Structure 1
């Protein structure tokens, strides 16, 4: 299983456009569709990998690591780690889940997610859609 998620294309474009860097770690990859995080064996919706954004001489320094979804009916959350040994941070709410498919919902930034991305986006702003690809796909 893997998570394919562009995070937020406008943010990624901003970092790259300001001569910043986007570094992949812990097995994460980048494709035209977005960043790819590998599923953790025997977990339902937890993934491993990191994307580290840096720009403006380190003034912008954002690490998005090991995304995991927690689902409860038609809603859920997305949490990440922001560094080795860091506690998980819930950066988005997932709303409108249909037929138990998390990718059918919409990710909306929480206050923590807004802070993580430098207070550029308002809480409730959408993150880009994602896809979960199962090994049998």
Structure 2
């Protein structure tokens, strides 16, 4: 088993969730989104979550990230929280989950295709373009997107240097 601990500066998950959601919340609904806990917004509007922990066992990676993003509009009627995401990725694909409410409920949000990480002597990187909403993630977005809806690509970087 390969394991990295407390790796805030050792990796990132970058995800724009869904381009139409970002546009809808900020432009059409005149709402906002906020990031906390180490998450940040890139210049193109994607959210980055710093790596907390990475573990690899038998070809499968479990990558835990810190931080949160909350989308709010319509005086709170639209309220989507994605916090402390975790990606489990292996040869048969991956699954992204996150804490989705203040009570700590974890939801399986999206599945990914079977992209293998690229690696060099320093980093592992995944670019997961085939990301789609799972049935368990439909309610998180208020039923607006049906299961199978294409979501924004996931980009992950994990530094292997010690």
TM-score interval for Structure 1 and Structure 2 normalised by the shorter chain: 0.7 to 0.9
Gaps of 5+ in 2: 1-10, 56-61, 119-124
The structure with more strand, counted as a fraction of residues: 2
138, 141, 151: which is aligned to 1:114?
Answer: 138
Q: Does 1:15 align with 2:25?
A: yes
13, 16, 20: which is aligned to 1:6?
Answer: 16
Equivalenced residues, count: 137
Partner Cα distance (1:11, 1:40) in 2:
26
20, 26, 41: which is aligned to 1:30?
Answer: 41
Q: TM-score, normalised by structure 2?
A: 0.75
C-alpha root-mean-square deviation of aligned residues, in Å? 2.1
The corresponding residue for 1:88 is: 106
Given that 2:13 and 2:65 are in contact with CA atoms closer than 8 Å, whether structure 1 keeps it comes out as yes
Cα-to-partner distance string for 1:40-97 (whole Å, 9 max, x where unaligned)? 0454411011000111111101001111111242212100001334131101111232
Q: Runs (4+) of structure 1 moved beyond 2 Å?
A: 41-44, 96-105, 133-137
Change (3 A) 1:61 1:104: closer
Q: TM-score, normalised by structure 1?
A: 0.88
Q: Does 1:133 align with 2:150?
A: no
